Amino acid sequence: MFRLYGEAYARVHPLSPDQSEVMQAIASCRTAALGGHVERCDACGFERPSYNSCRNRHCPKCQSLAKAEWLEARQTELLPVGYYHAVFTLPHDLNPPALYHKKLLFDLLFRAVAETLQNFGRDPKHGLGGKIGFIALLHTWDQQLRFHVHLHCLIPGGALCDGGSRWTSARDNFLFPVKALAKVFRGKYIAFLKAAFREGRLRWPPASDGADGTERFHALLRSLWKKPWVVYAKKPFAGPEIVLDYLGRYTHRVAVSNPRLLDVADESVSFTWRDRADGNRQKPLTLPAGEFIRRFLLHVLPKGFVRCRHYGFLAARAKGHDLPRCRQLLGLSPEIPKPPPQAAPERLKNLTGLDPALCPHCKKGSLQFVRDLPPLELDATAALRLTPTAWDTS
């Protein structure tokens, strides 16, 4: 898609440096532009080039191994309790400023959600009265790739209480009241917005009719106070395997996955989406190529931005002490098991069921390294101009 239509899109649409880098990386992925090596079968002599991947986190072809490694690590941290799923959504009124101040407004979202959940976890009124742990994961898209900023939170059902001497379990089908969560979340986020504006970290341009930026900002705040904010909570997952399956679908993906793409032709892109208003039925959607690229690029994250964060007894600083204590109080060995080390080819074989070293020609021999292929020296848009048939080696 980027190779066919990316250059034309970039000529008429201004791109941020992050967006330009993502387009170039995806267009160059597994092509001669990134270099690679030649492999030869030790049985039949068949040779083929194997080009390097871009490893960009927005690329749908480059995240399978990273996801497998991440899931292995998270599997060792699972506790034998119910896991809750809560979703905190920003009102669409905040979409325009979020597009221009992504890092700031996304960071404020993480902060507001984290403080809200931790306050409810510490409050004995809600039945826990201790330190909870959770994983928060940012999503910025809906099923049709439109801008829709929300935070998924996976929360083990319980809390570490009395300085770590006692574990308190949550109720079987209820964690926190969602209406109360939504009100506290709204109040905290708006307070953080006001502080950022007051400190000059959040700038509001004047309107075309001359309306002052400060007036427009306070008008937005008034509208945000008037509307209910959405917090959605699901029942606990049925077991650890379901938790991992859920994590795998959400952690290492941005906007759209390759299996959802149906066709790229005639300057249009077709993909599937799930219509939740119609029983979650899967339906096709066709967009002009330029509109599809525009929607995809809406979800490019600021460079270095961390979209998956851990809090409470799952936070990096606390996990080494708190998680073993949680395990011990729940009847497990306090030692957190370590996943066995695996080389990339072995992990790929376990993930796909296919041996990447098996010769595709004779199906008997093994592919062996022959020589390196240096990257081609291209200008900034050369990879976008080349057609998939000339470059795609997958």
Percentage of the chain modeled with pLDDT above 70: 86
* Partners of 125 in the β-ladder: none
- Please provide the distance, in angstroms rounded to a whole number, between the alpha carbons at the two ends of the chain: 15
| Amino acid found at 52 | N
Q: What average pLDDT is seen over the chain? A: 84
Kindly state the average pLDDT of the residues 118-136: 89
pLDDT higher than 60, residue 383: no
pLDDT higher than 70, residue 17: yes
Task: Find how far residue 345's CA is from the centre of its chain.
Answer: 24
Q: What pLDDT score was predicted for residue 240? A: 64
Q: What pLDDT score was predicted for residue 234? A: 79
pLDDT higher than 90, residue 151: yes
> Which of 89-127 are b and which e, b meaning 16 or more Cβ less than 10 Å from the residue's Cβ?
bbbeebbebbeebbebbbbbbbebbbbbbbebbeeeebb
CA dihedral 82, 280, 230, 304 (to 10 degrees): 80
d(CA 115, CA 367): 53
| Amino acid found at 343 | A
pTM for this prediction: 0.85
Give 371's contacts (C-beta < 8 A, 6+ positions apart). Answer: 37, 38
pLDDT tens-place string over residues 171-225: 887 888 899 999 999 999 999 999 999 888 988 765 655 566 788 888 889 999 9
Give 387's contacts (C-beta < 8 A, 6+ positions apart). Answer: 3, 4
Q: What pLDDT score was predicted for residue 211? A: 60
- Indicate where the chain has its CATH 3.40.1310 domain(s): 77-255+298-329
Q: Are 282 and 272 in contact (CB under 8 A)?
A: yes
Kindly state the average pLDDT of the residues 95-115: 93
Q: pLDDT-based confidence at 138, cuts 50/70/90?
A: very high
Q: Which two tokens stand for residue 319?
A: 């996990």
CA atoms within 13 A on the CB side of 305: 20
Instruction: Assign domain 77-255+298-329 one CATH number from 3.10.450, 3.40.1310, 3.30.70, 1.10.1740.
Output: 3.40.1310
Q: pLDDT-based confidence at 357, cuts 50/70/90?
A: confident
